[in-house]
Chains A and B, each alone.
Chain A
Amino acid sequence: MNRIIALVVLVILLSSELSYSQCCSSGSPVGATVYVGVLAPNNLRFVAYYRNSYSNTYYQGSSKTEENVPLKFSYYNFTGISFSYGITKRLTAEIDFGYFLNKTQEFKYIDFKETGYGFTDGGVGVKYGIFIKPSRQIELTAGAGFRYPFTTKPQELDRVQLARDVQPSTNAFAVNVMLFFNKGWPSVGIRLFTVNRFEYNFADKLHYQYGSMLLNSVFFSKKIIPYFFAILQVRGEWRTHDNDFNDIYENGSSIRPNSGNYLLILSPQLSYSIAGKWNVSVLYDIPVYKYYNGKQLTPKYSFAVSVSHDFDLSRKKPKINIETLPK
């Protein structure tokens, strides 16, 4: 069950970070160290995921708009992997990175389509279990980490720089903190858990700074049949404006007007545990409220598929394995 929760939150957090709007998008600060909850000592968790998103609707404030919008549509196909390792019973380290198979936008008024592809930023982080009571299924875990670009140079085609909206990487560093709380009621097969995460982006070499992000999620999980779980998430995402320190407005502001937003998203998810070792999960994002600063392209649909597996690398099996306790 804990593995399923970790996978659920992983996929959903990745989805939130990848559902950035476009024109003017806040880039592609993909992923983060998103495993939730600490692992048992010497346990390694591997997660691979795929995500697809398609956008063709512009929003201005909380309303749709079609007035003078530049893009016909945009889409991306993204894949990534994460590794997490339990160092002690309270401390877990994690790394992740991803790859855009493509990140494309097609213009409306001119016959032009541009595509970027490649590695996103990598992530490194640690988590510490502040309060863990397996018997009562309570866990409070805090985490911190940073993200780093594999290159600080924007992607180019024929020596022409691609637009920010299709860049696979932010080309900048970021730091993040996370707080996770979980409570289970095994007698009725229900869990509630929350994830709160804040990320701060630094400016890149071109003096462009993506906005900060605050993410608050509440999850409700219910076992439907053995090894099969339904999860419903309510997620709030708040992003601040981007700043471009190259082009300062006459009033002295560096804020990019078409950046930053607030989203409230409902995200149903199904997870299945294969033979108690592999977990497969799918999710679909349904935005229920959107507010965008300026005018921005917003996702029409977005879905993700993820697979995870836990490896017990300890030579000696623990006497009590929390994962196998009767629910």
Chain B
Amino acid sequence: MKKYTIILLSAFVLLLMACSKKSDTNGSNTPLVFSSLNASDSTMVVNGLITLIANASGDGLSYHWTASYGSFVGSGTSVKWTVCHADKFVITCEVQDANGNSVSKQRTISVHE
């Protein structure tokens, strides 16, 4: 009987642990702040290279870069971007912290011949 009581108690404790609110895995609570997304220029010639820098603070940040067209060189806080034809392009950077919070910013680059 005692054995079953211990098993039941252990199961109850495990259940409580599983249902408890997830704490910050990093033990840190710095809020995510995405202060700016800067480009070395707002215009560029076709096949040129532009530098983009994301300034953000928070815990365990990762940087997600997307554009409807063109190629990114590099990764992380700073990337370079190039494209092969003239147009206006929107570049998006999404910053995500260790807690799953995310903030996005966009920059429009005008590309000319």
A206 proximity list for chain B (CB < 8 A) = 66, 68
Give the shortest distance, in Å, between B65 (CB) and chain A (any CB): 5
What's the tally of chain A residues with a CB closer than 8 Å to chain B?
35
Taking the complex as formed, is B98 at the interface, i.e. its CB lies under 8 A from any CB of chain A? no
Closest chain-A Cβ to B111's Cβ sits at a distance in Å of: 10
Known: A70-B84, A158-B75, A258-B84. A247 touches B89 (CB 8 A): yes
Q: Which residue of A lies closest to B47 (CB)?
A: A70
- Min Cβ gap A251→B in Å is 12
Whether A160 pairs with B72 at a CB distance below 8 angstroms is yes
User: For residues 138 through 188 of chain A, which have their beta carbon under 8 Å from a beta carbon of chain B?
Assistant: 154, 156-165
The proximity string for A residues 104-148 relative to B, scoring 1 for CB distances below 8 Å and 0 otherwise, is: 010101101010000000000000000000000000000000000
Write the nearest CB–CB distance from B56 to chain A, whole angstroms. Answer: 14
Q: In the complex, are the beta carbons of B75 and A70 less than 8 A apart? A: no
User: Which one of A23, A68, A105, A159 lies within 8 Å of B63 (CB-CB)?
Assistant: A159
Which residue, B62, B82, B85, has most C-beta atoms of chain A within 10 A? B85
Q: Which single member of A69, A157, A247, A258 contacts B68 (CB below 8 Å)?
A: A247
- B76 CB contacts on chain A under 8 angstroms: 158
CB distance B85 to A24 under 8 Å? yes
- Can you list, as one digit per residue, whether each of B64-97 has a CB less than 8 Å from chain A (1) or not (0)? 1111111111111001101011111110000000
Closest to A244 in B: B68
How many residue pairs link A and B with beta carbons under 8 A? The number is 79
- Grouping DSSP codes into helix (H, G, I), strand (E, B) and loop, the B interface class, with mixed when no group exceeds half, is strand
With A207-B68, A244-B69 known as contacts, the answer to whether A107 contacts B82 (CB < 8 A) is yes
Indicate which residue in A110, A114, A160, A257 contacts B49 across the interface (CB closer than 8 Å): A110
A68:B70 contact, CB within 8 angstroms: no
**Is A68 a contact of B87 with CB atoms below 8 Å?**
no
Q: Is B46 an interface residue (CB 8 A)?
A: yes
Contact of A24 with B69 in the complex, beta carbons under 8 Å: yes
Given contacts A70-B47, A160-B75, contact A110 B82 (CB under 8 A): yes
With A110-B49, A160-B72: A70-B79 Cβ-Cβ less than 8 Å: no
* Complex A-B, nearest 10 residue pairs according to Cβ-Cβ distance, in ascending order: A158-B75, A163-B71, A23-B84, A246-B68, A70-B84, A70-B47, A161-B66, A159-B64, A258-B85, A160-B75
